[in-house]
Chains A and B, each alone.
Chain A
Amino acid sequence: MITFARLSEQFYALTAQWGIPWIVPTLVVMGIVVGVIVAYIAVAAMFLIWWERKISAHIQVRFGPMRVGGWHGWAQSIADGIKLLLKEDIIPARADKVVFVLAPMVVFAASLATYVTIPWAPGLIVKDLNIGLLYMVAISSLTVVGIVMAGWSSNNKYATLGAMRSAAQAVSYEVPLVLSLLGPVMLAGTMSMGQLVEAQGGTWFGFLPGWFVFPQAVAFLVYFVCALAECNRLPFDIPEAESELVAGFHVEYSGMRFAIFFLAEYANMVVVAAIATTLFLGGWRGPWLPIPGLPAEVSRGLFSLVWFQVKVYFLIFVMMWLRWTLNRLRVDQLMDFAWKILLPIAFANLIITGLVVTIWK
């Protein structure tokens, strides 16, 4: 089977034959990977921003962008991006400059690092770590560090309070998130993202696809809610809310730095949707047809790539739908919800899954 791992192995072997030290091909491969992923994130974020505006508009009985670029304003995001690049770079007077500049980078880097173990198609995964899921969850919690850095360095009482709230929210919702993810892990018996998808072959009762969402529906819902909270999306967007008294950690940011925070948020949305797709919706699995002129493997790969994207963007659509329909929770209600409701449900799910798996085996 053609996999990224095999291709890169062959590339390393080739360059070793030519006597080039190992560091060079490694860097080349890393460079290509980073380039592709950053390009993907950039395009995805632009698309998602446009899509969000369109979805919000249609829910609100209006049109959204219609002019920029002609057809339904598809170039709106590009125009916005150019505008943000041209804005003045303002750093508050007594802000901690180094930390202020680094904070958006940290948030973005944490989001970026999780793209390493996303299984885009069979064999197309940068590195199928055997602790892939653990790695993803762990690295994505580094965004909290970036948020606290942003709030603290802004030298603004409101920003600091907003950052503290955001950190509290992120940390509280991590716990049920991880617990809900353990259900499918137990069913599959592995934390490797690639193998989690492999384990969802087959069918339930002969007609339902073998995805883990069917036995783990509760875990899926818990995970989805926690994912919304991790991305600071409504109804959990206290950290970003303008009309709440404490405005949020990014209140002193403007221009491109602000844009990086939002790029990171959309990148994060893609990641959490990707995790949900991989663990619950069967990842890249889906019906495929052989394309004439291409080997079966490749056409299966292409179809799988498309299926993965479809599932991921469907989940993102649901996230956006919720944002424009629901209102915000109060901070203490948010914490209550995480600790008193989601956590016990996640635990219960874990225990029941464990029992069932043990008895079955």
Chain B
Amino acid sequence: MTPDEILEQLKQQFGDALAETEVKGTEVRLTTTPDRGREVCRHLRDLGFEYLNCVSGVDWLTHLEVVYDVSSLRHPNKAHVRVKVNRDNPAVQTVSDLWPAANWHERECYDLFGIRFDGHPDHRRILLPEDWVGYPLRKDYTDERMVPYTDYGMEEKVAKTEAAKGAPKETKAPAAAPPKPSTPAS
């Protein structure tokens, strides 16, 4: 099945629940709501997407999002499902019974974003200690131990050299660590 056919079938099945659908290369992309999200995932799994690559969270300031990336080992198509959840009480249904791989991914999503996964068999933090307060990957997370990043005035330096030379310099912008360890970090 081509990605377009897959998208067609999903649209027939779910209609309005899908939004922002597109096909990019071999990937089917769509957005859906929390109450239909699990069904969409189940339908995808039945269409042959038996391999879950990744479950991530994204913080869009106005709302949170759970992103599922699934693929198949047999056909080259991929699917990218985004589920919008609201910030104050973020909750979706778990897919860890559809794809056991989601188990740890969802735990991580809960740990770092605070999104609840109803029905998850082992709903607890994974990377942070059990008694951690807060959800660090949210954009509004503050912690008095966090140190603001200073790029040591690199942007001003770059602007100055740009103005002086006139032409944009080659390649590397604020560069990564130079290979010789003796040179101080830029």
| Direct chain A–B contact by Cβ atoms under 8 Å | no
Residues of A in contact with B (beta carbons under 8 Å apart): none
Residues of B in contact with A (beta carbons under 8 Å apart): none
